[in-house]
Structure formats: structure tokens, C-alpha cells
Amino acid sequence: MLAIDLINDLISPLKTSDSAEKALHMMEDFKISHLPIVNDTEFLGLISDDDIFEMNDDAQPIGNHQLSLVHPFVYRYQHIYDVMRLMAEQKLTVVPVLDEKNNYLGMISINSLLNYFSEIASLSGPGGVLVLEIGQREYSLSEISRIVESNDANVLSSYITSNADSSRVEVTLRIDRSDLSAIAASFERFNYTVLSSFDQKARIDDTMDRFDSFMNYLNI
């Protein structure tokens, strides 16, 4: 998946002639904290809600204010993981996408990214999530898959969360079975530490928390 494929066409960029008040309304409507400012196809930078709160008169065009804009962006051909890294590193809610000539094409929002994350993690169908802990040197996806498959189940997706201060990693598994008790017991017999398991409802409630861990993983 490339950056160009996740552009959110519903959110329009700001112009320097737009008021700060309009910018805040748009951020509130789309549940984001940043918006790109674009003149024609030239990307001028990102403005945040904090920038707007510091303005004395939000009825004035944003171009009338002294702005210190940040300029994070990705090119259309970059992988979606590059978007994830940039969003996590700079704590952004949108990432502008440019073409090879630095023309503005659109933006990727945090909601678009979460929807994509949900798809690649196979969260839409029935099943459950199992979180294991294991030493980095003992990690083997083939061995983990073998244990799951020995219980007539399959690993739909997986990712690792590691900590620079620890020699152990967390392995999050999405499995095509809602009742994970037998699978968890199998892992414990093979000396895996089962940190937690989630049924359908708990899995959905936990997605946002797990997303932060996934972002940290991508930065390693």
C-alpha cells in the first residue's frame, strides 16, 4: 500500500485567505488537530489547533498572522509504513502527500490510517487476539503458527512490540477463533507467557491502545 492510495478526499486543505475560525471548525468536524495550508498546488506547511489558539483574532485570514509552519510530508510513492512513522514521530493527525514535483495531492488522516491498520490486522471478521511474551532470541513465527494450527486455528495477522530496555518482546496474534483458552494453554505448555487475550468486544475496545504500541514498533 502506497501513500497515494490512502488520501482522504473528504478533507480539503486550507488557503491563506481562510480564517482561523474556519480552520478550527474543520478540525472539530473531522476530529483532527492539523491541516495543511496550500496555495494552488504549493504546500506551505501544517497548521495546528495550538497555533490557532495563539492567534489574537480568529476571524482574520490565517495569512495575516505570523506563522511558523512545520513542513512534514511524504511523496505519493512512499510506503504506508513511512506515513505511520512520520505520524508517530511528529504526533500528527494528518500527513500531506506530494508528487515528484512537490505539488500537493491530498492528505492522509489518522482515521484513514486506523482503518487501514484495522484491515491489515484482520480485525473485521470473527476471532480473537492473544498477546504473548517471549525472549527475543526464542521468537519464531513458524513455531508460533505451528502451536496455533495444532489447535485447528490459524494466525490471521501478527506484530511484535519490543522495548529497547528489555530482552523480551510482546507478540500480538490475531487468530480466527473467539475462544482462545485452549490455544493459550498450549502456549503456556511451551513456556510462553500469555499476557492477555481478547474476545470480539474487548478486541475492538483495545484497538486504539494497541495502535500506539504498533507505532512504537515501526520506529524501531
- At 134, which CATH number? 3.30.70.260
Asked if residues 158 and 189 have their Cβ atoms less than 8 Å apart, the reply is no
**Residue 187 corresponds to which cell in the numbers above?**
502456549
Domain boundaries, position 27: 3-117
Task: Tell which residue, 102, 173, 99, 100, has the closest CA to residue 141.
Answer: 173
Q: Are residues 83 and 17 in the same domain?
A: yes
Check whether residue 93 and residue 163 sit in a common domain: no
pLDDT by residue (tens digit) across 3-29?
999 998 899 999 999 998 999 999 999
pLDDT band at 53 (very low <50, low <70, confident <90, very high): confident
CA 131 – CA 183 distance, rounded (Å): 11
pLDDT of residue 203: 46
